[in-house]
Structure 1
């Protein structure tokens, strides 16, 4: 296997070396692609030092040297990569020694387009643990049982009950399948949840298989400055960011003729529920009354999301 590991880097001077070295431990990792995204800290200097030290590390910035976000940075990394397989890693996370154990066997089957696994959690400080333990705990981020490829798509749409989820850090995809089956990669206009939207479309177009899902193959690093903690501490309004996510999914689903009416209706309802969640109080109850008589299932999640705190990871 020749694996390209794509790492977008923003404000991660204290973590990126660990991420890179966790990828370089594998002989299968052909190259590590760092895309530095105009960090406000010294991440660019650290990345330059890493690239000078390790021959398998390539460093890039956007042509205009400006900040574009995680999605466009991953897109640039994919464009620059040359391996047969592509894996992703956030700069404050890291791989475990079993990261590609399942992939070595599963990718022998040419029908396998991608493999996903389980993600653990590490708190970089006691302050981060105190603030966010209720969100992440010590549990795995994983899909709870092995599903066939079509049901991975339905599971991510929340149509299979307790499905679970998987992280971009645990995904490995066949480069050829990505190029042939995906019309677009990460959506550049989504600054939040761009990985969730990408993984959902990916599971629709590609045949994704479970790898190791009962133990961690990578670790999410939780600290005071990463994006998911900012969302849950309400620096970023979670209802608004989720509304934008489901609006994007809704727009995409309307362009796909093969998506069933049942799936389209479910996506509409998810979008409506977050529209209700983010609406001001005077408008919120008007929307609830409207959907109570026209499509009451649209308000079930919306009612729950009024006091927003859950289902953000």
Structure 2
């Protein structure tokens, strides 16, 4: 196996060395591709030092040296990859010694186009653990049982009961299969672009389960994770989910091979998030309205009859 590991780098000077070295422990890793996305910290210099230290580490940036987000940054890595297989790793995460154990066996079968596994969690500080333990705990992010490839897409859509999830950190793809479907990350999505990518990939490719009961990679949790802030509702999750499901719905509408019942399911999920977001915006809009127009009522208690009627 010749694996290209793609690591998008943004604001990760503290963590990227660990990520790189966790990938280099495997002789199957042909190259580690760092794509630096105009970090505000010293990450670019750390990446340059890593290329000098390790011959298998390659460094790229966007043509304009600008910041383009995780999706566009991973796309650069896909374009530059020279290995026969592609794996992904976030710069603040890391691989465990069993990362490609199942892959080495499964990819001997030419019909296997991708393999996914489980990831664990590591808290980089006590503060991060205190903030986010209620979100992640010590649980695995995994698919709960072995499934055939045709069950993965409906499983991720929650159409097959309790399926579970897998992370892009635990996904390995046959490069020829990825090229066949011309599948890249959506660059206009600022969040959840990896989940949207996994949805489409699971529809087009035959993805097989690897190690599901043990972590093969670790999600690093710290105070500055953007996606962690979404999961913890520090960033409004309703609005980000609306954008995500709007994108999935748009893709499904234009993909003629998707069955009508699946398209209808996706449309219903999209509508449910849109309604939830509208309710959220209405509720907080009413709070702002009362703060400016009926402040005395709020001072007298949130149980003012007019306020309650408008808000709920």
The equivalent residue for 1:301 is none
Equivalent-residue separation in structure 1 for 2:275 and 2:127 (angstroms): 33
Alignment of 1:47-62 (within 5 A): 47-62=47-62
Question: CA RMSD of the aligned region, Å?
Answer: 1.2
Deviation at 1:235, TM superposition (A): 4.2
The equivalent residue for 1:157 is 157
The equivalent residue for 1:300 is none
Deviation at 1:232, TM superposition (A): 3.2
The equivalent residue for 2:184 is 185
SS in structure 1 at match of 2:147: coil
Equivalent-residue separation in structure 1 for 2:133 and 2:229 (angstroms): 14
The equivalent residue for 1:230 is 229
The equivalent residue for 1:86 is 86
Deviation at 1:208, TM superposition (A): 0.1
Q: In the alignment, is residue 112 of structure 1 matched against residue 112 of structure 2?
A: yes
The equivalent residue for 2:194 is 195
State the structure with more CA Rg. 2
Equivalent-residue separation in structure 2 for 1:232 and 1:250 (angstroms): 22
Equivalent-residue separation in structure 1 for 2:136 and 2:210 (angstroms): 22
Deviation at 1:281, TM superposition (A): 5.7
SS in structure 1 at match of 2:31: strand
Q: In the alignment, is residue 70 of structure 1 matched against residue 73 of structure 2?
A: no
TM-score by length of 1: 0.89
SS in structure 1 at match of 2:219: strand
User: What per-residue deviation string (whole Å, max 9, x for no partner) do you get for residues 248-299 of structure 1?
Assistant: 0000001111211110111011101110111146868xxxxxxxxxxxxxxx
User: What per-residue deviation string (whole Å, max 9, x for no partner) do you get for residues 42-82 of structure 1?
Assistant: 00010010111100000001011111111110000010110
Equivalent-residue separation in structure 2 for 1:19 and 1:223 (angstroms): 15
> Please, which runs of 5 or more residues in structure 1 have no aligned partner?
285-313
Deviation at 1:141, TM superposition (A): 0.1
The change in CA–CA distance for 1:28 and 1:253 in structure 2 (over 3 A counts) is same
Q: In the alignment, is residue 261 of structure 1 matched against residue 260 of structure 2?
A: yes
SS in structure 2 at match of 1:214: coil
Equivalent-residue separation in structure 1 for 2:233 and 2:209 (angstroms): 33
Deviation at 1:150, TM superposition (A): 1.1
Deviation at 1:13, TM superposition (A): 0.3
Misfit runs of 4+, over 6 Å: none
SS in structure 2 at match of 1:279: helix
Equivalent-residue separation in structure 1 for 2:120 and 2:231 (angstroms): 19
Equivalent-residue separation in structure 1 for 2:224 and 2:143 (angstroms): 27
Deviation at 1:158, TM superposition (A): 1.0
Equivalent-residue separation in structure 2 for 1:194 and 1:282 (angstroms): 24
TM-score by length of 2: 0.89
Deviation at 1:229, TM superposition (A): 2.0
Equivalent-residue separation in structure 1 for 2:175 and 2:263 (angstroms): 29
